[in-house]
Amino acid sequence: MRTLLTSVYKKLLAGTVIAAGMALFSPAQASLTTSYSATGDVAVSTGGCGSTTQTCSFTESIPTGSTILQAFLYTSQFSQSANTPGGGTLNGNAVTYSTALGINTTCFCQAYRSDVTSLVSSVVGGGSASPISFTVTETNFTQDGEGLVIVYSNAAITSTQSVGILDGFSKSGGDTATINFATPLNPAAPGFQARMMIGDGFSYDGSPCGSQPSQFSNISVSTNSTPKTLLTDGAGCNDSSVDVTPANGNLITVGNINAACPSVSLATGNEATDIANDHENYCLNSFINAGDTQITTDTNNPSGDDNIFLETFLITGNAGFNAPPPGPTGVPEPASLALFGVGLIGLGLAKRRKRQ
């Protein structure tokens, strides 16, 4: 059974990080839930890699003068009918993936999470002007790769920002996540940003990516003022693989916040082109109008085989990312207890995966 997390309610760095705004939600069966959030002079770095050699490296950017608030390391696995987590190391230190995030039953995929805050803090220190390297190893051939999300505070950040980490598993038929804001958004404000990076496991669409458009995920965005709009019809592929050839063991993509961030829809109707150009790092600015107080994202995987296990947000403003402890069957408690709600609805079954 899926392990569901209680919310993280934190007031970090007194006078710097403030509580999220009040918001209500309707109970729903959740496949992604909020595992961490923070608001204030905060930001986030994301990255990851995968390889059939079961070792690979990537970099993260943490500016000088930073304090690490939270760091999660994820591993994405396939063939998880036995629900057996792999293991490994991060920069030579043993990592135990103690939190299972639930099985995507269409492909028997599952991601696992490890809290590596103290380990990352010792590596990063107070940050660096140069990218910081991380190396991961794996103990299980079913591990498709790893993703690392690092939340930090820095006094040089002068605007209020919110970071939210949602994790779990993907329902191929459709998932929905809603972010509520205590105060209206103002996309015209200097330095305003609305970013979303996703982590996608067991994701492959030919060699090279996009040459055989048969596997992909769709992501749509809406706000109070903007109707549901297709952001991309090409989410997926193993963009974070360091290998030349896609194969089981490297089929992971983790959007890197430092990568190119398109500000318009990537959905051209040509999945081959869209998948090749989509690196799972999205700018949502163009979908937001002044006065909006809500952002909703919808994902679905028509091919029935990707496992979107992670959504990481960085948004200028005071966002209500916190969620109440879920009920015993994965149904959140009544809305009156909520600071923020993330509801995800499974809509039917998708077709069986086609793979090499």
Q: How far apart are CA 152 and CA 66, in angstroms?
A: 6
Tokens 């998708």 belong to 350
Gyration radius (Cα) of the chain, Å: 19
Q: How confident is the model at residue 306 (pLDDT cuts 50, 70, 90)?
A: confident
Per-residue pLDDT for 231 more than 90? no
Q: Which two tokens stand for residue 183?
A: 């105060």
Max mean pLDDT among 13-27, 169-183, 317-331 falls in 169-183
The rounded distance, in Å, linking the Cα atoms of 251 and 207 is: 12
User: Before 208, cis peptide (omega within 30)?
Assistant: yes
**To the nearest whole number, what is the mean pLDDT of the chain?**
78
The span from the CA of 78 to the CA of 141, in Å, is 9
User: Does 75 have pLDDT greater than 90?
Assistant: yes
Average pLDDT over residues 277-302: 87
Q: What's the mean pLDDT in 292-312? A: 88
- Ordered by start, the domain boundaries in the chain are 32-337
Residue 130, C-beta contacts closer than 8 angstroms, at least 6 positions apart: none
Residue of higher predicted confidence among 154 and 320: 154
Query: What DSSP designation does 241 have?
Result: B
Residues in the chain, how many?
356
Taking residues 73-100, report their average pLDDT.
90
> Across residues 331-347, what is the average pLDDT?
31
Selection from 114, 111, 84 nearest residue 168 by Cα: 111
Cβ-Cβ contacts under 8 Å for 20 (sequence gap 6 or more) = 37, 39, 162, 182, 318, 319, 320, 321, 322, 339, 340
Q: Name every residue whose Cβ is closer than 8 Å to that of residue 24 and which is 6 or more positions away in sequence.
A: 335, 336, 338, 341
DSSP 330: S
Query: What's the CA angle centered on 189, arms 188 and 191, to 5 degrees?
Result: 110
In the predicted structure, residue 3 carries a pLDDT above the cut 80? no
Q: What percent of the chain has pLDDT over 70?
A: 73
- The tens digit of pLDDT for each residue in 106-143 reads 888 999 999 999 999 999 999 999 999 999 999 999 99
- Per-residue pLDDT tens over the stretch 29-51: 358 888 999 999 999 999 999 99
Q: What is the pLDDT of residues 205-218, one digit of tens each?
A: 666 665 555 677 88
Alpha-carbon separation of residue 27 from 44, 84, 159, 325, 345 (angstroms) = 29, 30, 33, 12, 10
Best mean pLDDT range from 12-16, 85-89, 277-281, 329-333: 85-89
Write b or e for each residue in 82-109: b if 16 or more Cβ atoms lie within 10 A of its Cβ, otherwise e: eeebbbbebbeeebebebbbbbbbbbbb
Is residue 240 predicted with pLDDT exceeding 50? yes
Residue 260: CB atoms within 10 A of its CB come to 9
pLDDT for residue 87 is more than 90 = yes
